[in-house]
Amino acid sequence: MRAPERTLLPLSFVPAGKEVTIREITSGERWRHRLLEMGFNRGTTVRVISNHHGPLIVALYENRIALSRGVAHKILVQEE
Amino acid sequence: MKILEAKETVIALAGNPNSGKSSLFNALTGSRQHVGNWPGVTVEKKEGRFSYRGLTFRVVDLPGTYSLGAHTEDEIIARDFLFSHPDIVVNVVDSTNLERNLYLTLQLLEMGASLVLVLNMSDEAKAKHIEIDQGRLSTLLGTPVVMTVAPRKEGIPELLERIVTLRGREPRETFRIKYREDIEEEIAKIEALLTLYPELTHRYPSRWLAIKLLEGEKRILQEMNRQSFMKHVFPQVEESKKRLIDRYGEDLETIFANQRYHFITRLVQECMRRKGEEKGTYTLSDRIDRVVTHRFFGIPLFLFTMWLVFQCTFALSEPLVGWIETLFTFLQEKATFILENLGVADFFISFLVDGVINGVGSVLVFVPPIFLLFLAISLLEDSGYIARAAYVMDRLMHILGLHGKSFIPLLLGFGCNVPGIMATRTLENREDRMITMLVNPFISCAARLPVYVLFTGVFFARHQGWIIFSLYLLGIVVAILTAKWFKRYLFKGETSHFVMELPPYRIPTVKGLFIHMWERGSSFIKKAGTIIIAMVVLIWILANLPFGVEYASNESIIGKLGTAMAPLLAPAGFGTWQTAVSLIFGIVAKEVVVGTLAVVYGVGEEGVGEMVRQHFTPLSAYAFMVMTLLYIPCVATIGAIRRESNSWGITIFALGYSLIVGWTMAVLIFQVGQLLGFH
């Protein structure tokens, strides 16, 4: 089931400590595939570890991944 | 039988970055490994051999990769090797992150690889209360599964057994993921066409080929485009693609990826349990990161770390350098004494003592600082700090139009520019890669140090540290300005994104550190043992020709060469034929500058300082150091640029650019310095 449009927000807006589910990646094809193979696929839950100026750090399972703000803007997520 | 003929079995070691692949490689091969090059590219190819039950195995450690999608130079190499049918693939996965790591596993299995799945870091999984049903996973994937803790060699005997059992076994039925019905239909249609061409299906499984054609895998497409009969297959591929895109509203690669993840989710649900929900907690690494990647403390902490690295490197290497110097002076005296007593011709004594022993000595004194620097860099890498350095520098790198990942090659450049340039292959974007490659030679590598040490020792003994620091800083500033300029005018392109894994902090193992240090440092020794000695000998010969001329005088060939070049260097304050010669030979390797000066001044290692004092002023010495830093990358670096950029145009441009920059800076410093009243 597709989530209602209004609850989607960019990952870059999610404060530290929150857990969200990835719904859509709107970046260009190349980066979408890159993110996909790194494990950022639809339905995956990620937790934001830190989000201040500069790149975000998110937890994907047990891993920590740094994502620039530009990428994080293009990952649309839904709060749990 | 092919199997009986094959003397050794080739094992490809594949896995995601940070899955503990290198430690498994070390556990398998011990010290029997060497770093060579992949054909055609400078990318390091790490290979090792081991014997087990009378069989010989060759292990190839592939660059870490998330999938066979090949987005970077590194991943292209891994993919190409995996496509070339290694006998066995050992797929290393991080047990604590099966969900992500199995993506590559599925791709390898679909390809029909003879695979052993290694659940590495199983101790960490246990500590995190992650339970994996090894047997069930093995059944569902139809492939052997082994649990290991590579640094402690746990599970290695079992892995070896599995490898031996798998070796030479007839290819089993290829593993298959059952895709959605409508996708399976299209795969079947294409597969039916492909099976008409047995020469194709001999090489690749037909189902896999059908999937790759649908996904539009670049290398397979390239290969297939060369086959004339493929024109009977392509229309069907296009038709199938169109149908699926219409139905799913997404591109094929995404459709397949989603289906694979779907499979993984079910697989993991069945084979893995995370007990004791620890969601929402912060690990120790996270807490350390709160300080290390802090928006204000991050950068000062990084600078402090680098300062510490250089301080320790020099402080610890100083006594060692002293011993080596003493040893070689002793060797020179002893050799002269013995040879004279034996009645050997003066000419030959001079060759051995002034040429060979002196040449080797002047290079070997730099082994301690270079090894210690590499040790420090290995420490930063193995502990996980280097990824954080990239993270904190990301903001600064953005100012240059690059991003944090470009910072790692620059950092490695402090050790040696060659690994620095090779490290650019982890960058996703070609423009970023070229810029990072071209500015790397301005980062002051360890080989320039001998020159700084010599000149600052003579002229700036009291502020030695600060003067050397200023040269490093100058190199960085030139690199920054160049990067900015190149980004704006030469390699425009979009800024690519910073997406990088931050591995958990680890206490490095002593063995791992020494292996890494040795890998990098030994290439310097090899260089010293071959190129540099050959050069020193060549210089010695040129300094003695034509016959009868006084050794290393301006009448010798070398002297004439230098005399011709000297006027060009005069505006920078060091327009003597000796300095010209040393700079020419410095292109071979920057550390040769010191050895050359020793030869052309006709003194040994310990006498160079005095000669330098006579021929230079503090100002011209500084200008000379700047010239040495910037003027032209050494031969090894030029070779690396050529191979990594795959373009002579870019290589020649790099040479011309750095020569102009180096000369201009040296002249500016000397001229402006004079105007300001320095001398």
Contact between chains at B403 and A68 (C-beta distance less than 8 A): yes
Domains annotated on chain A, with CATH:
5-79 (2.30.30.90)
- Which residues in chain B are contacts of A61 at CB distance < 8 A? 96-97, 99-100
Structure-model confidence comparison of residues B661 and B322, the more confident one: B661
Phi, psi of B504 (to 5 degrees): -60, 150
Name the closest residue on chain A to residue B75, using Cα atoms: A34
- Write out the E strands in B431-542: 499-502
pLDDT at B605: 64
Nearest residue in chain A measured CA to CA from B291: A50
Give me the pLDDT at residue B530, please.
67
Query: Is there a contact between B394 and A66 if contact means CB atoms under 8 Å apart?
Result: yes
């970077």: which residue's tokens? B72
Q: Reply yes or no on whether the pLDDT at B219 is more than 90.
A: no
Q: Is the peptide bond before A10 cis (omega within 30 degrees of 0)?
A: no
Query: Does B473 have pLDDT greater than 70?
Result: yes
- Is A38 in the B-facing interface, judged by CB distances under 8 Å? yes
For the ranges A53-57, B177-181, B502-506, B552-556, which has the lowest average pLDDT? B552-556
Q: How confident is the model at residue B346 (pLDDT cuts 50, 70, 90)?
A: confident
Contacts of A66 in chain B (CB under 8 A): 387, 390-391, 394, 404, 498-502
Top residue of B272, B388, B497, B500 to mutate, by most chain A CBs within 10 Å, is B497
Residue A80 neighbours by CB distance under 10 Å: 9
Of B23-27, B69-73, B455-459, the range with the lowest mean pLDDT is: B69-73
Per-residue pLDDT tens over the stretch B583-623: 988 887 787 788 788 877 877 666 788 888 888 999 999 99
For the entire predicted model, the pTM comes to: 0.79
**Predicted local distance difference test score (pLDDT) of residue B2:** 43
**Mean pLDDT across the stretch B380-400?**
86
The shortest CB-CB distance from B391 to any of A27, A31, A55 is to A55
Q: Is A28 on the interface with B (CB under 8 A)?
A: no
Confidence of residue B457 (pLDDT cuts 50, 70, 90): confident
Per-residue pLDDT tens for B637-655? 887 888 788 888 999 999 9
- DSSP string over B576-593: SHHHHHHHHHHTT-TTHH
Alpha-carbon distance of B599 to B597, in angstroms, equals 5
Residue B470 belongs to what H/E stretch? helix B464-489
The percent of residues above 70 in pLDDT, for chain A, comes to: 92
CB-CB under 8 Å, A33 with B257: yes
Do A38 and B253 count as a contact with CB atoms less than 8 A apart? no
User: Scanning every residue of chain A, which has its alpha carbon at the shortest distance from the alpha carbon of B294?
Assistant: A52
CB neighbour list of residue B386: distance below 8 Å, 6 or more residues apart: B377, B380, B408, B411
* Mean of pLDDT values over B397-409: 83
Which residue did the predictor score with more confidence, B346 or B338? B338
**Dihedral class, residue B343 (left if φ above 0, else alpha if ψ from -120 to 50, else beta):** left
CB hemisphere CA count around B431 (13 angstroms) = 19
pLDDT for residue B242? 93
Statement: residue A4 has pLDDT above 60: no
Quote the minimal CA–CA distance from B159 to chain A in Å: 25
Q: Does A33 touch chain B (CB under 8 A)?
A: yes
Q: What is the mean pLDDT of residues A62-77?
A: 91
Contacts with B69 from chain A: Cβ below 8 Å: 33-34, 37
pLDDT tens, B90-147?
999 999 889 999 999 999 999 888 999 999 999 988 888 889 999 999 999 999 999 9
Q: Spell out the SS3 assignment of B381-436.
A: HHHCHHHHHHHHHHHHHHHCCCCHHHHHHHHHHCCCHHHHHHHHHHCCCHHHHHHH
| Predicted local confidence at residue B453, as pLDDT | 85
Q: Which domains, from first to last, does chain B contain?
A: 2-166 (3.40.50.300), 181-274 (1.10.287.1770), 302-491+501-675 (no CATH)
Look at the block and give the residue holding tokens 């191979």.
Answer: B643
Tell me the shortest Cα–Cα distance from B516 to chain A, in angstroms.
24
Task: Find chain A residues with C-beta within 8 A of B404's C-beta.
Answer: 55, 66
Ranking A56-60, B179-183, B189-193, B414-418 by mean pLDDT, the lowest is: B414-418
What is the ipTM, given to two decimal places?
Answer: 0.90
The first and second tokens of residue B172, run together, are: 């089993």
Can you tell me the mean pLDDT for B399-415?
Answer: 83
pLDDT at B531: 63
Interchain contact, B289 vs A41, CB within 8 Å: no
